[in-house]
Amino acid sequence: TQLLEQSPQFLSIQEGENLTVYCNSSSVFSSLQWYRQEPGEGPVLLVTVVTGGEVKKLKRLTFQFGDARKDSSLHITAAQPGDTGLYLCASIQGAQKLVFGQGTRLTINP
């Protein structure tokens, strides 16, 4: 099983600041997905990246896939309290099995 390492594990910042969280593996990803999970709810898909070097934007969120497809980052600009949640990266392994990293728990303080 390909392991996905996310960092940092916990991040607490003030509203309006910028932040970046990371997802890394020692192996190449065929594709990578980012999810956000709010307390008491299931994860919600944010984006899928497939091509090395790919950059996707979702409002204030910017997702980047490394050139070698072994790492990905999520950058949030001007963070807001509504961005608080658990951010998970995941990759498909085996017959459609989605394997998740342990997540970055993000808290944005007003």
Partner 1 sequence: NAGVMQNPRHLVRRRGQEARLRCSPMKGHSHVYWYRQLPEEGLKFMVYLQKENIIDESGMPKERFSAEFPKEGPSILRIQQVVRGDSAAYFCASSRGRANYGYTFGSGTRLTVV
Say whether the peptide bond before residue 8 is cis (omega within 30 degrees of 0): yes
> What residues between 64 and 103 interact with partner 1 by CB under 8 A?
88, 92, 94-103
Facing residues of 99 across strands? 91
Give the x-and-dash track for 8-47 against partner 1 (CB under 8 A): -----------------------x-x------xxxxxx--
Tell me, what amino acid is at 70?
K
Dump the DSSP string for 42-56: --EEEEEE-STT-EE
Q: How many of the chain's residues bind partner 1 (CB under 8 A)?
A: 23
Kindly list the residues in this chain that would bind partner 1 in the complex (CB under 8 A). Answer: 31, 33, 40-45, 48, 50, 88, 92, 94-103, 105
